[in-house]
Amino acid sequence: MSTEQHPDSETGATAPEGPRPGRLTAAAAIAAVEGLALVAGGIFMLVMGLMGKPDQPRQAETGGVTLIVLGIIPLVAARGLLLRRRWSRGPALITQILALPVAWMFLTSNGPAIPVGIAMAALAVTGLVMLVNPATAEALGVRGAGGTRTP
């Protein structure tokens, strides 16, 4: 991998140039899938609330808007990962960590939610593995303790 640097236009930081590692692309894809799922779920809840289908329409509307806003975070992180922005690793990691208890909730439920929990857990664990990988950190220009580059 080349050791040349290019500036991050948003923070002024630099990340190594060269081909983007497959792990970084996979992490971005996982974050994008999670973000799209949140936005889709939010739109569904919002529409159902506006149509008056649930018992508590106001609660469905609020939940829908909340999911849409929360879905924007992993979508922005996915874009940042693709563009190799150092800051994007944090929101992507947080998204994966927060997905684990939600996946557990689905896994411990009954019926059709169990496959959703399995998929969520698989995505979250895979995303975490991809994001903490040293090749990903190096591709993003993340420095280790003491300001040294990660190996």
Residue-wise pLDDT for 65-118, tens only, equals 999 999 999 999 999 999 999 999 999 999 999 999 999 999 999 888 999 999
What is the DSSP track for 82-97?
HTT-GGGHHHHHHHHH
If we measure between CA atoms, which residue out of 36, 33, 28 comes closest to residue 131? Answer: 28
Rounded to an integer, what distance in angstroms lies between the CA atom of residue 151 and that of residue 138? 8
Distance between CA atoms of residues 22 and 126, nearest Å:
13
Task: Report the candidate in 45, 77, 42, 39 with the shortest Cα–Cα distance to residue 60.
Answer: 45
CB atoms inside a 10 Å sphere around CB 64:
21
pTM equals: 0.81
